Amino acid sequence: MCVKTLVLEFPPHVQRVILSTASVRLRHHHQMQPPTVSSAEMSLSSPNSPSKMLPPVAPQRSMTMLRPALACCKLYISEARNAQALRAIERAAAGLRPAAVLVNAFADGAYNRIGYTLVSPLLAGGDGASPLHRAAFGVVAAALEAVDLGAHAGAHPRLGVVDHVAFHPLHGARLEDVAALTRAVAADIGDKLQVPTYLYGAAHREGRTLATIRRQLGYFTPNAPGEQWQGAPDESSLAVAPDAGPGKPSRSKGVVVVGATAWVDNYNVPVRTADVGAAKRIARAVSERGGGLRSVQAMGLAHGDGTTEVACNLLDPATVGADQVQERVRQLAAEQGLDVGEGYFTDFSQEKIVEMYMQSAEAEASQQ
């Protein structure tokens, strides 16, 4: 068998993850040699960079399997440094395999934040809840048990232990179906786990955006020196009443924002300066809100000692993609006499995610 080596470059504080069929393993990229990838492993890659893609690892017959309507759930959790907590969360994520499959994990030490991507068919189980519903709820419950927001600190904004849960339709799925699933998951999080829960996107009755509810809740304002977010939120009141759950957040859990939208790419561009103000000016100018690129949201954030980053959400990546964002950030940085590094995605493309799920489903079926 021909074994291929995959070499990826990420900023110093980013951890990359190799997913095997049995586990998720986190490794800091300073401590890691270029991984040797076998047919049993899948490694994080830029979704729009074919030279960095893994070749298909399942037999060709997997591509002929009937594909069900698929959806994915991305969960962003305020922890990336506590290995014991991450293991507990990942055990929960693996609990419904093969019905729901964990296809990606991306950790950032400077942000103290990790993102997980779960994929599952939009099919109800015997109890009426889809595998994706049960898997997402299980990961949220495990994270709330394992992580204390009061002890958390990092350079990325957050509102809670589980800061953000995003559902997206994939192959054959409709946004309205995913929105219904999202509302059901949010209701369970609020009522059963007793966390104030907010809806956005197609799951919200008025289509409220993620940026809007975050702004209303003070998400973008650091609360600690050095452009950091530290400790628990104010327990006294919430600026907006939650859609589910109690009216006050606990110091250990915070709040959760849950939504359903079309696919979003997350693309971050390193800026070689310690001046967070400069990164914020670039982020403002590159974003649609600041008169920049349409359908682009951006934040300027500290990203470790002496570096910053422009972290972007590409809401319509088919129209405005990473290449355009990279070039515009480069231009804006040059106007301030600054250099930028090569940007990176924090997840696979939706096409790659579907392919990985189908490969996993084929592998599981072949063992039965």
Whether omega before 98 lies within 30 degrees of 0, making that bond cis, reads yes
Give the pairing of strands 113-121 and 101-108.
Answer: antiparallel
Distance CA 85, CA 81 (A): 9
Residues taking part in catalysis: 156
The residue length of the chain stands at 368
Q: E strands of the chain, at which residues?
A: 4-5, 14-20, 24-28, 36-37, 41-43, 70-77, 101-108, 113-121, 153-154, 162-169, 197-201, 229-230, 256-260, 265-271, 296-302, 308-314, 344-345
Torsion angles phi and psi, residue 48, rounded to 5: -115, 20
Q: What are the structure tokens assigned to 130, written together?
A: 């889809």
State which H helix or E strand residue 255 sits in: none
**98, 100, 101, 103 alpha-carbon torsion, rounded to 10°:** 160
DSSP, collapsed to helix, strand or coil, labels residue 143 as helix
Using only C-alpha atoms, the chain has a radius of gyration, in whole angstroms, of 20
